[in-house]
Amino acid sequence: MNNSLLVVVLASGIAYGTPLLFASLGELLAERTGVLNLGVEGMMLVGAVMGFWAVQRLHAGAGLSLAAAIGVAALAGTAMALIHAFLVITLRASQIVSGLALTIFAGAAGLSSYLGNDLNLSTDPARHQFHAIFPASVQDWPVVGPILFGQNILVYASWLCVVAVSLYLSGTRPGLNARAVGESPAAADAMGINVVAYRYAHTLVGGAFAGVAGATFTLAITPQWVSGITGGAGWIAIALVIFAFWRPELCLVGAYCFGALQALSPQLQAREIRIGPTELWTNSLPYVMTVLVLVLASSSGARRRLGAPASLGLPFVREER
Amino acid sequence: MRIERRLRQPRWLLVAVPAGSLVFAFFASGIVLLATGHDALSSYRQIIDAAFLNSGALGQTLTSATPLAFTGLAAAAAFRMRLFNIGGEGQLYIGAITAGAAGLYLGGKGGSSAVVIAAMIVAGGVGGALWGLIPGILRAFFKTNEIITSLMLNYVAGYLLTYLIFNSRSYWRETKGFNASVFPTAKTLPDSALWPAATIHVRGGIVLPLGAGIAVLVAVVLWALYSRTRFGFEAQVLGDSPRAAKYAGMRTRRTILAVMALSGAIAGLGGASQDGDFRHMLDADPNGLQKQYYGYTGIVVAALARYNPFAVVLVAFLIGGLQNAGNTLQGADFPSGLVGVMQGMILFSALGGELLVRYRFRVGRAPEAAAPEPVA
């Protein structure tokens, strides 16, 4: 029963959905203060390669290495986000072009590939990886075993992050200030909120989340480094934020749906289930579904009412309002 | 020190800023090279040699520059009206697929070379335009963000390309012969479908591919379209101020569709040129066309050229040199990915430089602001 297609797809859907969840939570934080960062894919890849590097080069126990690797990945993502933040917040550059530039700079043909190559990472499997934390007997429980208890600690950490981000945005003073900055920076400024500092802080935290999301690939899902390992997950994460109407809880639902779609392709191929041009449609499915979901989320004029921050994508210049 | 908006943008700045961005980007990438233990100066000398100076280097650079001119023009055509078509990569693949079909079919039936090549150009353009119209239609009718949809379609187009050669017995795939049974390959185009090229016999021979000529032609047409026609004017108004365009009675949807189709068609032409000029088959090799990232690099080209079609051609040549050097030098002392790092740096500095075009810095205190009107 635990080997049935549905259970396996759901269980690995949660695993595949975890990097999407981390990345979309980070993007959500940045967007809620009005900073659109299209560089998620690049930040994830740099986080992925640096996290992997830390695990390979640190000579410590598994737990310590992995914890350090997550820290390194978060720092790497933050460093990438800093470039974007400086360009769009301080230099008032176009958020769209700057985010694209970040993905080109850091992405599959850029810095992440350079680092992977230069640090000779692409030959070996990871020395340590995240394993499921519950004992095998619990994991064998029917249905809920593999789905809920067969996951690694990053999955459970991501659930905590959803709760934390949700509480932060709805129930704390800084969270409410951040939302004010995203909705109306001029009003927030008049209230005495430091718009620039809030935007920097949330963009950087968003980068840290993206870095951890990348490391989830290289340390848990496919524990090795391959150039371009994220395969567009960063872009799907950006779409998820729109799909989730900028709400953390819905990011979780969306991330697992897309994770399940990504899990479907290898499962169908492993079970030799063929329906039409299988390789084509199973591989393309997550991307096509992203397009369809975006169309649904954006049509019917639902966008404004359902939570897009009003100042998303616009620079704030105190003298020019 | 204060930053204030420029009322007029001096012409020399429009050249000086991109040039300065290039210099700054080389400087910043040099720091990356030094930080990872490479000799930046010798790397740069190798790049310049491999891109422009070595025997045969200019021809190679043209080979890399031609697709970049197409994808750069495609990006410039759309970005200029703030339609962010990131789908040049996929539109190029689809153009290569449709042009390949036209070349195989008509060439196989023994059509004359001129007819076959013309058909390939049309097919490539139409294929790219149709693929570009998908995000265009979604944007025009459902207001769906074209950035993400066009990008997602790149992956779909890539999987389609792979599928046609590796996972199916499609029209494009070679099914006869010993090699084809060992490793899946595409059918080679018949001779009449190969695009002619002019050769200049200097420095080891510089081959001028037909595609390069077409790209220059497209640049001229694009310039005329945007600066001399009503359509171009409407597109620019729409980009700068959608509301003004609406009040002036411009047909927003039609313009969005036309611009996305135009942008896709130009990228599709790049795909046709890949088939006819360079690869002579539909290249689905995972380390071939799909590893060049022409579509994404085209965005760098367009942004550095500030969306001016003629500048795109020039910048495509420079960035093509960089790309070519990256391909030739790849090895132990020249890590792959360096070219992407440099391209990203160029884009960052071009973006930062934009501040200098739009604003100026004044040193000193602000003049006393006029006292606010007393409120009665």
Segment B41-65, tens digit of pLDDT: 888 888 898 888 888 888 889 999 9
Give the chain B residue whose CA is nearest to the CA of A235. B148
Separation CA A315–CA A196 (nearest Å): 10
What is the percentage of chain B residues whose pLDDT exceeds 90?
43
3-state SS assignment for residue A280? helix
- Please provide the size of chain A in residues: 321
Separation CA B293–CA B64 (nearest Å): 11
pTM: 0.89
* Contacts for B265 with CB less than 8 Å, ≥ 6 apart: B125, B126, B128, B129, B132
Separation CA B22–CA B26 (nearest Å): 6
Q: Which tokens in the block code for residue B96?
A: 């290569």
Q: Is A98 within 8 Å of B297 when comparing Cβ atoms?
A: no
> Nearest by CB to B343, which of A104, A319, A320?
A104
3-state SS assignment for residue B194? coil
Q: Looking at residues B138-142, what average pLDDT do you find?
A: 91
CATH code where residue A288 lies: 1.10.3470
pLDDT 10s digits, B7-19: 777 788 878 888 8
Q: Is A83 within 8 Å of B355 when comparing Cβ atoms?
A: no
Q: Which tokens in the block code for residue A133?
A: 């934390």
Place of tokens 């740069």: B44
> How many Cβ atoms are within 10 Å of B9's Cβ, its own excluded?
13
Distances (CA, A) of A317 to A99, A185, A189, A239, A308: 20, 9, 10, 28, 21
Give the chain B residue whose CA is nearest to the CA of A282. B159
pLDDT 10s digits, B256-310: 999 999 999 999 999 999 999 999 989 888 778 888 889 989 998 998 888 999 9
* Contacts for A174 with CB less than 8 Å, ≥ 6 apart: A168
Q: Which tokens in the block code for residue A83?
A: 């470039």
Is B357 within 8 Å of chain A by CB? no
Q: What are the pLDDT tens digits along chain A (321 aa)? A: 677 888 888 888 999 999 999 999 999 999 999 999 999 999 999 999 999 999 988 888 888 889 999 999 999 999 999 999 999 998 888 898 899 899 989 988 889 988 988 888 877 888 888 888 888 887 778 777 777 787 888 999 999 999 999 999 999 999 999 999 999 999 999 999 999 999 999 999 999 999 999 999 999 988 889 888 888 899 999 989 988 888 999 999 999 998 998 888 888 878 877 787 888 888 888 899 889 988 888 775 555 556 678 888 788 887 765
Chains A & B: contacts with CB separation below 8 Å: 158
> Nearest by CB to A294, which of B84, B144, B345?
B144
Question: Which spans in A58-150 are helix H?
Answer: 62-85, 95-106, 111-118, 136-139, 144
pLDDT 10s digits, B201-229: 776 678 899 999 999 999 999 999 999 99
Q: What is the pLDDT of residue B207?
A: 84
Q: Nearest 10 degrees: CA dihedral of A315, A316, A321, B5?
A: -70
Q: Does B376 have pLDDT greater than 50?
A: no
Q: Is B344 within 8 Å of A101 when comparing Cβ atoms?
A: yes
Q: Does B362 or A103 have the greater pLDDT score? A: A103
Separation CA A71–CA A74 (nearest Å): 5
Q: What is the pLDDT of residue A118?
A: 83
**Chain B partners within 8 Å of A291 (Cβ):** 138, 144, 148-149, 152-153
Q: Is A280 within 8 Å of B163 when comparing Cβ atoms?
A: yes
**Chain A partners within 8 Å of B300 (Cβ):** 101, 104
A111 neighbors B375 (Cβ within 8 angstroms): no
How many structural domains are present in chain A?
1
Listing DSSP states for B200-260 in one string gives E-STT-EEEEHHHHHHHHHHHHHHHHHHHSHHHHHHHHHHH-HHHHHHTT--HHHHHHHHH
